[in-house]
Amino acid sequence: MFPQRLDSPLAYDIAKAMMDGFNRHYRLFRTESARAKHRFETADWHGQQRAQRERIEFYDLRVKEATARLEKEFKAHEQAMDVWQQVKLHYIGLLVDHRQPELAETFFNSVTTKILHRTHFHNDFIFVRPAVSTEYIENDEPAARPTYRAYYPTRDTLGETLVRIVDNFQLQKPFEDLPRDAGYVLAAIGARLTQVTLRANFQIQVLSSLFFRNKGAYVVGKIINGFNEVPFALPILHGKAGERLVIDACLFGEDELQALFSFARAYFMVDMEIPSAYVQFLRSLMPRKPRNEIYNALGLAKQGKTLFYRDFLYHLKHSSDKFRIAPGIKGMVMLVFDLPSFPYVFKLIKDWYPPPKDTTREQIKGKYLLVKQHDRVGRMADTLEYSEVAFSRDRFEDGLIDEIRKFAPSQLEIGDRDGDGREEVVIKHLYIERRMIPLNIYLQEAFDAGLAGAADPTRAVHAKEQIEQAVLEYGNAIKDLVAANIFPGDMLWKNFGVTRHGKVVFYDYDEIEYITDCNFRKVPAPRNEEDEMSGEIWYSVGPRDVFPETFAPFLLGNPAVREVFMKHHADLLDAGFWQTHKERIAAGYVHDVFPYERDKRFGSMAVPA
């Protein structure tokens, strides 16, 4: 341990410069998030998409700026180790009364690890654990907006209160008929409160900022009655004419909020003074959702990575199973492994790819970055990207080590890097994703259950329903991706996964393209009998040409699958379907993709009496 002194003006100046860098970052982050309200009001959907992409880059840019300043003004990398120990102590002092201390600690770690070489690296120089609590942080300025507002309606005033809740957000675009929409919400709430006694503490708590994403704004809160708390969210959209707003639905319960905040969706734009207070409120709505995923959903991805890694290290200390090659069909481009007790998979890019794959490591990394920056519409898994990740060698199965040595030797280093006698496995670069059941395995389990249930009608019916739902969801996933201007490229079942809630999500990104960059064609008619009988392609094929009718032989070999697919998604085999969507997107149209089922929408309901 280094001496803990606070007598170095240089150390204080370095700490203060680092804090200035973080404060600049969060000020810009918050300003961009606050502008989402105006973009929503003016229907600037392309501006919203552009802001989503650009905001993701803010953190790395500010870290580079702060690092450059410290090198220029203080020659930071030349400072003695005891100076760096004092820098951290001064920085802790600057965190007192700070409103984003956990984010500032992570920023400190990012800048420090950029400056200090690993051979001089020491946990005393970074925040391995939080130094400052985020509990009960409040903005005490008189004009400050609270984290959430509490409303205390009676059964008779509930409708008026719902109008007031929405009015308090001061949206500058008028509603078609807010009392009507409040009536829809009141009916939905009433269905849950029928025959329920309203207790003394009956109230509605609502976060003070709207959550903006895609073409929607969301009111997020909870209804409290006695010991019961019911999470809810109200999506606000532009009406059909686009001139006025409507409340489109009322989402209730943890599962529907989980879908809204899914790891397969784009990050929200939210104006937050105290992000930890928002995370704490949201965890009360979704207690099963890890804090790292909530920070990610709020656009604070670096904090999400920090918390994920802390949780991961904690899990390793309290488990004993070994990393293994992940079950399923091996990919040609990515090598995938997992830890059975941990609900994530680890993916690294192979060093070489067999034909017909024609790509490079940089191109694949570019595809993953595209997904990170794009609207994932609930159909593409978010990824956490890490470099130089060290694991204990004894936690790896020998077969996995052999696999990495064979297919990705440039990404593997094994040795005693710290000189402490412990052998480590270091992966140079990897992606981490939520684990899902590969769709091909999910379907095979259903096929097997159907065969085994031949003598058990109930089991056979369940297996048939499982197949139908999975194939229906698969087609819906592709159509949602199309709406977001994404062509999956390789549409085989093995490249999709099934989530805990039964949603089908795409997770193999090495061949994705923008729909607008593809040329969708119908297979030309054979010119003669020789063409018709030939096993070779007789027509020219460009690098971006796609022939949708050729998907069928690869996807629909099973009769049960083919029947469901052709009933619901035969249009995916028609080049005209793809071309029509391409033309609409190219013309500037932004599709609606809802994070809830269409039968939840109020548009089909009659106006309440």
Write out the catalytic residue numbers.
382
Contact status, residue 87 vs residue 111, Cβ threshold 8 Å? no
Which residues are CB-contacts of 52 (< 8 A; sequence separation ≥ 6)? Answer: 266, 267, 269, 373, 375
Alpha carbon distances (Å) from 532 to 362, 520, 522, 547, 552: 40, 22, 15, 17, 18
Contact status, residue 217 vs residue 236, Cβ threshold 8 Å? yes
For residue 561, count CB atoms less than 10 angstroms from its CB and return exposed for 0-12, middle for 13-18, buried for 19 or more. buried
Which residues are CB-contacts of 186 (< 8 A; sequence separation ≥ 6)? Answer: 158, 159, 162, 608
Which residue, 31, 6, 25, is CA-closest to 94?
Answer: 6
Q: How many CA atoms lie within 13 A of 62 on its CB side?
A: 26
Residue with token string 């680890």:
346
Contact status, residue 99 vs residue 80, Cβ threshold 8 Å? no
C-alpha to C-alpha distance for 2 and 84, rounded to whole angstroms: 10
Q: How many CA atoms lie within 13 A of 270 on its CB side?
A: 29
Vertex 292 angle, CA 509 and 482, to 5°: 30
Neighbours of 14 (CB within 10 A): 27
C-alpha to C-alpha distance for 552 and 555, rounded to whole angstroms: 5
Q: Is 28 helix (H, G, I), strand (E, B) or coil?
A: helix
Contact status, residue 101 vs residue 134, Cβ threshold 8 Å? yes
Strands 211-213 and 216-225 turn out to be: antiparallel
The enclosing H or E element of 532 equals helix 529-533
H-helix segments, 116-177 = 158-167
Give the CA-trace dihedral at 140, 141, 142, 144, to 10 degrees: -90
Q: Is 268 helix (H, G, I), strand (E, B) or coil?
A: coil
Rounded to the nearest 5°, which phi and psi values hold at 541? -130, 120
